[in-house]
Chain A
Amino acid sequence: MLELEGARKTYPGVRALQGVDLGVERGEVHALLGENGAGKSTLMKVVAGAVTPDAGQMTVGGSPVPLGSLEAARASGVALVYQDLSLVPQLSVGENVLLGRWPTTRWRTVAWEELHAAARRHLGRIGLDVDPRRRVDEHGMAERQLVEIAKALSGDVRVLLLDEPTSALSDPEARRLFGIVRDLTASGVAVVYVSHRLPEVLDIADRISVLRDGQLVGTVRAAEVDEARLAKMMVGRTLGRGAAAPAAPPAGNGAPAALRARGLARPPRLKPVDLELRAGEVVAVFGLVGSGRTRLARTLFGLEPATGGTLEVAGRPVSVRAPADAIALGMGYLGEDRAAGIVPRMTLAENITLASLPRLGRGVLLATGQERQLARRFADELGIRAPLERRAGTLSGGNQQKLVLARWLCSGARVLVLDDPTRGIDVGAKEEVFRLVRRLAGDGAAILYLTSETREARELADRVLVMAGGRIVRSVDPDAPEEELMAAAGGVHG
Chain B
Amino acid sequence: MAEVTTERRARLLDGIRKGAVRVATAAGGRGGAVAILLLLVVGFFIATPDFLTADNTRNVLRQYSVPAILAVGQTLVIVSAGIDLSVASTAALSGSLMGVAFAHWGWPEPVAVLLGLAAGFAVGAFNGFVITRLKVPDFIATLGPLAAVRGVALLVTDGLPVPDYGRAGEGRRVPESVATLGADSVLGIPLIVAVAAACALFGWFVLSRTKLGRAAYAIGGNREAARVSGIRIERSKFWIYVISGLLAAVAGMMLTGRLASANALMADGMELQSIAAVVIGGTALFGGEGGVGGTMIGILIIGVLANGLSILGVAEFWQRVVNGLIIVAVVALAQWRRRAATRGSGGLKPSPPVDEGQDT
Chain A residues with Cβ below 8 Å from B262 are none
Chain B residues with Cβ below 8 Å from A357 are 211, 214-215, 230-231
A333 within 8 Å of B by Cβ?
A: yes
B227 within 8 Å of A by Cβ?
A: yes
A37 within 8 Å of B by Cβ?
A: yes
Question: Which among B33-41, B63-71, B130-138, B216-224 touches the partner chain?
Answer: B216-224
B360 & A345 in contact (Cβ 8 Å cutoff): no
10 smallest beta-carbon distances between A and B, as pairs: A327-B230, A343-B221, A41-B360, A324-B230, A11-B358, A354-B229, A355-B229, A340-B224, A343-B222, A357-B211
Known: A45-B357, A397-B359. A366 touches B222 (CB 8 A): no
Query: How many angstroms between the C-alpha atoms of A40 and B228 in the bound complex?
Result: 30
* Residue among A335, A354, A355, A368 having the largest count of chain B Cβ atoms under 10 Å: A354
A residues 342-380 with Cβ under 8 Å of B? 342-346, 350, 354-355, 357-358, 360-361, 364-366, 368
B351 within 8 Å of A by Cβ?
A: yes
Q: Mark B334-347, 1 if CB is under 8 A from A, else 0.
A: 00000001111000
Query: How many angstroms between the C-alpha atoms of A340 and B211 in the bound complex?
Result: 21
Query: How many angstroms between the C-alpha atoms of A459 and B236 in the bound complex?
Result: 42
How far does the Cβ of A251 sit from chain B's closest Cβ, in whole Å? 33
Known: A342-B222, A343-B221. A328 touches B209 (CB 8 A): no
Count of chain B residues with a beta carbon within 8 Å of a chain A beta carbon: 34
Contact of A344 among B222, B343, B344, B358 (CB under 8 A): B222
A323 & B228 in contact (Cβ 8 Å cutoff): yes
A41 & B357 in contact (Cβ 8 Å cutoff): yes
A442 within 8 Å of B by Cβ?
A: no
Chain A residues with Cβ below 8 Å from B214 are 350, 354, 357, 366
Question: Which residues of B are interface residues toward A (Cβ below 8 A)?
Answer: 209-215, 217-218, 221-222, 224-232, 288-289, 341-344, 351-352, 355-360
Known: A68-B352, A345-B221. A365 touches B360 (CB 8 A): no
Q: What number of A-B contacts does a CB cutoff of 8 Å give?
A: 121
Query: How many angstroms between the C-alpha atoms of A357 and B228 in the bound complex?
Result: 13
A333 (CB) vs chain B CBs: closest residue: B228
A45 & B355 in contact (Cβ 8 Å cutoff): yes
A217 within 8 Å of B by Cβ?
A: no
How far does the Cβ of B218 sit from chain A's closest Cβ, in whole Å? 5
Range for the number of chain A residues in contact with chain B = 35 or more
A145 within 8 Å of B by Cβ?
A: no
Query: How many angstroms between the C-alpha atoms of A344 and B220 in the bound complex?
Result: 11
A50 & B226 in contact (Cβ 8 Å cutoff): no
Query: How many angstroms between the C-alpha atoms of A342 and B351 in the bound complex?
Result: 29
B239 (CB) vs chain A CBs: closest residue: A364
A341 & B225 in contact (Cβ 8 Å cutoff): yes
* Residue among A34, A322, A346, A395 having the largest count of chain B Cβ atoms under 10 Å: A346
Query: How many angstroms between the C-alpha atoms of A11 and B226 in the bound complex?
Result: 29
Chain B residues with Cβ below 8 Å from A333 are 228
Chain B residues with Cβ below 8 Å from A322 are 227, 230, 232
Query: How many angstroms between the C-alpha atoms of A327 and B229 in the bound complex?
Result: 8
* Residue among B221, B231, B232, B342 having the largest count of chain A Cβ atoms under 10 Å: B221
Query: How many angstroms between the C-alpha atoms of A313 and B289 in the bound complex?
Result: 37
B359 & A343 in contact (Cβ 8 Å cutoff): no
A291 within 8 Å of B by Cβ?
A: no
14 more A-B residue pairs beyond the given contacts A303-B227, A322-B232, A345-B289, with a C-beta to C-beta distance below 8 A: A36-B359, A41-B360, A68-B352, A342-B225, A343-B222, A346-B218, A346-B221, A364-B211, A364-B212, A366-B209, A368-B209, A396-B359, A397-B360, A407-B229
How far does the Cβ of A86 sit from chain B's closest Cβ, in whole Å? 12
B228 & A340 in contact (Cβ 8 Å cutoff): yes
Question: Which residues of A are interface residues toward B (Cβ below 8 A)?
Answer: 10-12, 14, 16, 34, 36-42, 45, 50-52, 68-70, 301, 303, 322-324, 326-328, 333, 335, 339-346, 350, 354-355, 357-358, 360-361, 364-366, 368, 393-397, 407, 411
How far does the Cβ of A310 sit from chain B's closest Cβ, in whole Å? 22
Query: How many angstroms between the C-alpha atoms of A426 and B218 in the bound complex?
Result: 28
Contact of B218 among A37, A343, A360 (CB under 8 A): A343
Known: A342-B225, A354-B226, A366-B210. A14 touches B358 (CB 8 A): yes
How far does the Cβ of A77 sit from chain B's closest Cβ, in whole Å? 20
A-B contact pairs, 22 of them (CB 8 A): A10-B344, A39-B360, A42-B357, A45-B357, A52-B352, A70-B352, A322-B230, A323-B230, A335-B228, A340-B222, A341-B225, A342-B222, A345-B221, A346-B218, A350-B214, A354-B225, A354-B229, A365-B210, A366-B211, A366-B214, A393-B356, A397-B359
Query: How many angstroms between the C-alpha atoms of A303 and B343 in the bound complex?
Result: 38
How far does the Cβ of A235 sit from chain B's closest Cβ, in whole Å? 15
Query: How many angstroms between the C-alpha atoms of A68 and B349 in the bound complex?
Result: 13
How far does the Cβ of B161 sit from chain A's closest Cβ, in whole Å? 39
Chain A residues with Cβ below 8 Å from B231 are 324, 354, 357
Contact of B359 among A41, A51, A69, A328 (CB under 8 A): A41
Chain A residues with Cβ below 8 Å from B209 are 365-366, 368
B228 & A344 in contact (Cβ 8 Å cutoff): no
A346 & B217 in contact (Cβ 8 Å cutoff): yes
B219 (CB) vs chain A CBs: closest residue: A343
A340 & B225 in contact (Cβ 8 Å cutoff): yes
How far does the Cβ of A172 sit from chain B's closest Cβ, in whole Å? 27
How far does the Cβ of B248 sit from chain A's closest Cβ, in whole Å? 21
B356 (CB) vs chain A CBs: closest residue: A393
Chain A residues with Cβ below 8 Å from B211 are 357-358, 360-361, 364-366
Chain A residues with Cβ below 8 Å from B229 are 323, 327, 354-355, 407
Chain B residues with Cβ below 8 Å from A350 are 214, 217-218
How far does the Cβ of A211 sit from chain B's closest Cβ, in whole Å? 10
Chain B residues with Cβ below 8 Å from A326 are 230
How far does the Cβ of B352 sit from chain A's closest Cβ, in whole Å? 6
A393 (CB) vs chain B CBs: closest residue: B356
A364 & B359 in contact (Cβ 8 Å cutoff): no
A355 & B230 in contact (Cβ 8 Å cutoff): yes
B232 & A324 in contact (Cβ 8 Å cutoff): yes
How far does the Cβ of A387 sit from chain B's closest Cβ, in whole Å? 16
Chain A residues with Cβ below 8 Å from B288 are 343, 345-346
Chain A residues with Cβ below 8 Å from B342 are 11-12
Chain B residues with Cβ below 8 Å from A358 are 211, 230
Chain B residues with Cβ below 8 Å from A396 are 359-360
A52 & B215 in contact (Cβ 8 Å cutoff): no
B230 & A343 in contact (Cβ 8 Å cutoff): no
Query: How many angstroms between the C-alpha atoms of A360 and B209 in the bound complex?
Result: 11
B222 (CB) vs chain A CBs: closest residue: A343
* Residue among A11, A14, A368 having the largest count of chain B Cβ atoms under 10 Å: A11
Chain B residues with Cβ below 8 Å from A16 are 358
* Residue among B228, B343, B360 having the largest count of chain A Cβ atoms under 10 Å: B360
Query: How many angstroms between the C-alpha atoms of A229 and B351 in the bound complex?
Result: 41
Query: How many angstroms between the C-alpha atoms of A397 and B227 in the bound complex?
Result: 20
How far does the Cβ of A340 sit from chain B's closest Cβ, in whole Å? 4
Chain B residues with Cβ below 8 Å from A323 are 227-230
How far does the Cβ of A403 sit from chain B's closest Cβ, in whole Å? 11
Query: How many angstroms between the C-alpha atoms of A50 and B288 in the bound complex?
Result: 27
Query: How many angstroms between the C-alpha atoms of A12 and B101 in the bound complex?
Result: 60
Chain A residues with Cβ below 8 Å from B360 are 34, 36-42, 396-397
Known: A11-B358, A342-B222. A303 touches B215 (CB 8 A): no
Chain A residues with Cβ below 8 Å from B221 are 343-346
A364 & B230 in contact (Cβ 8 Å cutoff): no
Chain A residues with Cβ below 8 Å from B230 are 322-324, 326-328, 355, 357-358, 411
How far does the Cβ of B134 sit from chain A's closest Cβ, in whole Å? 18
Query: How many angstroms between the C-alpha atoms of A358 and B217 in the bound complex?
Result: 16
Query: How many angstroms between the C-alpha atoms of A355 and B230 in the bound complex?
Result: 6
Chain A residues with Cβ below 8 Å from B218 are 343, 346, 350, 354
